[in-house]
Amino acid sequence: MVGSSKKGINVKKLDWVAPLSTMVGLAVIVAFAKWPPNGSAAWASWVQAVGSIGAIIGAFSVARYQADKNFRLQTEASVNRRQRLAGVAVLQIATLVETMNYLVSFTERKKFASADYRVYGEQMRQHAKTLAALPLEDFDPDKAVALLSVKAIVDHITVALSKMERDELTDKRLELFIAMMKSYAVQIATQKDILNKGEGQH
């Protein structure tokens, strides 16, 4: 949230430091004009009072600077983490797409037996686990939705592969599977573009 940090001093709560400094300074000037020091002891008291007030204001100013610095560092760290996670998701999806391309290629050439679909089913389940392990709360909302969409597609493909293990691999069955995979590939490409958006920019 802008204007605050998760830990430490709340930056917004320190916004009163500058106005307070001005008000205190004006109060000191008015008090000095109304009750000017008339001796060395009075001057010493004034200097001590002004010095104490200055020290307090200075301490708050330093606290504000540190809070601002901490907030900027936390914000930058959060942005960098989101970008790294999005990059990991994109790489994982690229591997997923490669797996899907192999599936389509071998299915089109009718090179697969039922056992082969079982092997790729295990690979898809592994893809699903990897995607599910990514912390959605650390993604921007649109990228989190994109990641969930890809995860849902992988789950659907896994179910379809399970059926391919059991069903008779007729030409019609293979054609439907290929059409489904190509449709999913287009959808995944769209979600990958969303995850790629803004990568490398600061």
Placement of tokens 């290929």 in the chain: 178
Phi, psi of 16 (to 5 degrees): -85, -5
- CB within 8 A of 161, min separation 6: which ones? 117, 118, 120, 121, 124
Whether 188 contacts 164, CB under 8 Å = no
Q: What is the pLDDT of residues 1-32, one digit of tens each?
A: 334 444 444 445 555 556 666 676 677 676 66
Q: What is the pLDDT of residues 95-134, one digit of tens each?
A: 888 888 888 888 888 777 777 888 888 888 888 888 888 8
Whether 90 contacts 134, CB under 8 Å = no
Whole-number Cα distances in Å, 129 to 23, 57, 96, 154 = 60, 54, 12, 10
Threshold 0.85, pTM exceeds: no
